[in-house]
Amino acid sequence: MGRDEAWALNSLEAHGSLSAPSTMPGMGEEVGPDSSVCRVEDEPTGRSLEARVQVVGEDLVVAVGGGERPHVGSLVLAQPVPSKRPGKPWSASCSVLTIPPHKEEPLARGIATRLAEALGRVTVVTAGVHDDGLDAEGIACYLRLGEELGEELARRLGEGKPRHE
């Protein structure tokens, strides 16, 4: 395991988010030696999102799933670019692929952008959430959970050294 892989694993493990086996249905039982799992939950509704973080060289690949049937509905690649705003070192340029009729782009884009800007690392995020009969309130809940997950990942992974300084 390289220095960057150890950085991500140690950052997540220090906060108790490294877990195996996964608790998300359909995501498999094992977490490999170079990946970490982070989960956020809305306790009143029982809804949750889980992210699997894989370090690939200096970059990050994050698979986000939730609901009754996690899947790949959208993929966002966020590349850090120098920010033009004072006090903000990075902005992100995003490329998006969405499988029609899936609507997970806002979830994937928010997390990918947050991580690329916070860490200065190229970040790929896949996202797929499915609950039968999901209403507007449920969608809003998952979007809030996505914001929490992005912040939590950025905080935990940001405690290591960012790629671009």
Reported as a single tens digit per residue, the pLDDT across 45-70 is: 999 999 999 989 899 999 999 999 99
How many Cβ atoms are within 10 Å of 16's Cβ, its own excluded? Answer: 9
* Rounded distance between C-alpha atoms, residue 11 and residue 9, angstroms: 5
Mutual angle of helices 105-119 and 136-157, in 10-degree steps: 20
More reliable by pLDDT, 62 or 30: 62
Task: Give the number of domains in the chain.
Answer: 1
CA 34-36-92 angle, 5° bins: 95
Residue 71 has pLDDT above 70, yes or no: yes
Range of the domain at 59: 3-157
Q: Residue 159: which pLDDT band, with cuts at 50, 70 and 90? A: confident
In a domain, 163, yes or no: no
- Residue 162 included in any domain: no
The CATH code of the domain that includes 147 is: 3.30.230.90
* Beta bridge mates, 124: 61, 77
Look at residue 158 in the predicted model and tell me its pLDDT: 85
Residues 79 and 120 sit within 8 Å (Cβ to Cβ): no
Is pLDDT of 15 > 50? Answer: no
Residue 164 falls inside a structural domain? no
With respect to residue 165, please indicate whether it lies within any of the assigned structural domains: no
State residue 34's pLDDT score: 52
Residue 46 tokens read as 């029982």
